[in-house]
Structure 1
């Protein structure tokens, strides 16, 4: 038997979104279990907060309209001919431009913005995440591993 879909009262949305910002990670994971009915993914706190924020609003106000879903699917088919396997494979491994990568190192938070052709850290452009990791730590690091985009064995 499947769990019923939770509901969120519209008048509680703002308070719930604000609470997510200060909620301990363990509580974020519990919220994930409650709102998604599944175990949370092993991603960082920022990811959990953003997806939970969307889910709270989705449950309160509704998800995408069926027409929007159909339009998005049609656009996807224009790009890949309807081949779902191709759709799931990115042309490159880079995160999408505009993505913010957050990493705490020795008690200091660091934020990197992915741009179209490079990365921005502390207002400066960098060609690779490894060069940013080196600027932060003073030692050589695999940037993808440092920012937890890939585990130590090289898997995304």
Structure 2
């Protein structure tokens, strides 16, 4: 059972584990608001809902973490404003051997970063966009599809 304890308070996150897709969507709209994304997996929604419950019970990140996040955002914005191409820290971490994982329509895809491209299911690709197109049969920004940009 997934439970988080802090300052004597118990937050039951296990209740989200049993929710169906429709139950997740209803709870998402009630607690997070707006509309759930069409292609968001049930497991992701369950995790996000549990996280939101913990945030509501215990508050968000510490002041120190918020300060570091704000500083990183400012640095990234300054690079963009200066005309430089902004790169996330994830993009700069794409070294050979790195594995990217993406769930799409109930299947998990794993991509390995190579020196000269990417590999998925034993086949080599020049770009993440080519892999995203292979997976979805639609044009996607590969870095965006894999959560890198």
Q: TM-score, normalised by structure 2?
A: 0.55
SS of the aligned residue for 1:127 comes to strand
What are structure 2's unaligned runs of at least 5 residues? 1-8, 145-149
- The answer to whether the aligner puts 1:33 opposite 2:29 as a matched pair is yes
Larger RCO (alpha carbons 8 Å, 6+ apart): 2
- The answer to whether the aligner puts 1:102 opposite 2:98 as a matched pair is no
The residue aligned with 1:144 is 132
Change (3 A) 1:73 1:115: farther
- Structure (1 or 2) with the greater strand fraction: 2
- The separation in 2 between residues aligned to 1:112 and 1:15, in whole angstroms, is 27
The residue aligned with 2:20 is 24
SS of the aligned residue for 1:60 comes to helix
Q: Is the 8 A contact 1:120 1:126 kept in 2?
A: yes
Q: Which runs of 4+ in 1 moved over 3 A?
A: 96-99, 114-121, 125-130, 145-148, 153-156
Equivalent runs, 1:113-124 vs 2, <5 Å: 113-117=110-114, 118-119=118-119, 121=121
- The separation in 1 between residues aligned to 2:11 and 2:120, in whole angstroms, is 36
